[in-house]
Amino acid sequence: MDETILKTEEQDFIEEDICVAENLVYHKPKTLTDTDLHYCPGCGHGVVHRLLMEVVEEMNIQDKVIGVAPVGCAVFAYNYMDIDMQEAAHGRATAVATGIIRVLPDKLVFTYQGDGDLAAIGTAETIHTCNRGENILIVFINNAVYGMTSGQMAPTTLPGMVTTTSPFGRDVKTMGYPLKITDLVAQLPGTYYVTRQAVNNAGNVRKAKKAIQKAFQFLQQRKGTCFIEIVSNCPSNWKMTPVESNKFVEEVMIPNYPLGDLKVPKEEQK
């Protein structure tokens, strides 16, 4: 028998018997658009976008959710998420979100911000939004570098870490220390749920999704500010392959930014 024909028959066999509804383990959420992601291969942004939109689909809250995009790599987040969104000025996402939630208190508002946006230029807005306990979710992607502007030092860049503006490594004597802003906001009475997660392996991705689910549930109950830091990677600006960058997250980033809940609501602790 001709080899080519045999292969085709095998494929038909697979499609008919395996690709059936009961065998479905994953589908792209309908709340993600068909626009191709502009993110670099291996970047964590795509994973977090997907997690957020999976939760929005599963909780059936598409008509309730309003997102606020930052300035930075996620500036085009609104191209990928099939929800109403506003694009904020650099660092001002939580002020924009405050404006939205104050006039539409029944909606579920989240911001999606990087480390430069949230923890450098937007520090005042971040702290005061959390301190007022605005009923919003803040998703904070920490990859220790300015991605969009191609690899400058971020407030979360680790000591000794090489970036284009710390070419000899971050010297804390002249460049300051990594700003652990998640630890800071956990101290504020306005925050309800503060957690640090990662998306560098399948287990962590699942945990991160659970945290996002919890946060949206808390927003529905109007509990106050929820803050999720996601320790992520930047293969392009770290000059690493995707695999190497995830290894760096595991071996260097996570020991400096330990994962887990920093502030858990009392009723959750029981």
Partner 1 sequence: MGELRLMKGNEALAEAAIRSGCDAYFGYPITPQSEVLEYLSREAFNRTGMIVLQAESEVASINMIYGAAGAGKRAMTSSSSPGISLMQEGISYIAAAELPCLIVNVSRGGPGLGTIQPSQGDYFQATKGGGHGDYKLIVLAPSSVQEMADFVRLGFDLADKYRNPVMILADGAIGQMMEKVELFEQLPRGGTYSKPWATTGKTKDRERNIITSLHIDPRQMEKINLRLQKKYKEIQEKEVRYETFKIEDADYILTAFGLGARICKKVVEIGREKGYKLGLIRPITLFPFPFKVYSEIAEKVKGILDVEMNAGQMVEDVKLSVNGKTRVEFYGRMGGIIPTPEEILEYFENKFLKGE
Residues that bind partner 1 (CB under 8 A): 62-66, 68-69, 75-76, 78, 82-89, 92, 95-100, 102-104, 107, 124-125, 128
Output the smallest distance, CB 11 to partner 1, in A: 37
* Residue closer to partner 1 (CB basis): 24 or 103: 103
Q: How far is the CB of 56 from partner 1 (least distance, A)?
A: 10
Q: What count of residues does the chain have?
A: 270
Nearest residue to 74 (alpha-carbon basis) of 122, 111, 30: 111
Query: Tell me, what DSSP letter sits at residue 36?
Result: P
Which residue lies nearer to partner 1 by CB, 87 or 250? Answer: 87
The CB-of-129 to partner 1 minimum distance in angstroms stands at 8
* Least CB distance to partner 1 at residue 71 (A): 9
Tell me the residue type at 200: N
Query: Which lies closer to partner 1 via its Cβ, residue 39 or residue 248?
Result: 39
Question: What DSSP string describes 111-163?
Answer: EEEEHHIIIIITHHHHHHHHHHT-SEEEEEEE-SEETTTTSEE-TTPPTT--B
Q: How many CA atoms lie within 13 A of 130 on its CB side?
A: 27
Q: Which is nearer to partner 1, 163 or 225 (CB)?
A: 225
121 token code pair: 């230029």
